[in-house]
């Protein structure tokens, strides 16, 4: 659990169902984060910016274009990162 100047950020859980990823994200402070999905070799397969509120947030991402395999979901703001691995 990285601690940022803006507060705590954590990806508590990731659920993958059919063509959608749902992640539970908890923040101490609201902010805009870059959301990345990368393959285990580091290739970025999805990128977008998302506004999160303080407290609990649910992130929904379409993953219909992802091949079966192992991935990492990353949330980035400045040089701070939270990561969680998942399989599809």
Write down all domains in the chain, each with its CATH number in brackets. Answer: 3-87 (2.60.40.10)
- 29: pLDDT confidence band, cut at 50, 70 and 90? confident
Mean pLDDT of 1-7: 46
- Give 85: exposed, middle or buried? Use CB within 10 Å, 0-12, 13-18, 19+: exposed
SS3 84: strand
Task: Give the length of the chain.
Answer: 88
Q: Tell me if 37 sits within 8 A of 22, measured CB to CB.
A: no
pLDDT digits (tens, 9 = 90+) for 75-88: 998 777 899 999 98
Q: Is the pLDDT of residue 42 over 50?
A: yes
Rg (CA), the chain: 12
């Amino acid at each position: 659990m990285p601690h940022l100047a803006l507060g705590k950020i954590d990806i508590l859980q990731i659920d993958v169902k059919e063509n959608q990823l749902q992640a539970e994200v908890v923040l101490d402070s609201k902010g805009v984060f870059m959301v990345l999905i990368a393959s285990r070799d580091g290739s970025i397969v999805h990128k977008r910016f998302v506004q999160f509120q303080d407290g609990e947030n649910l992130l929904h991402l379409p993953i219909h274009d992802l091949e079966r395999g192992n991935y990492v979901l990353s949330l980035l703001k400045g040089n701070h990162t939270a990561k969680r691995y998942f399989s599809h």
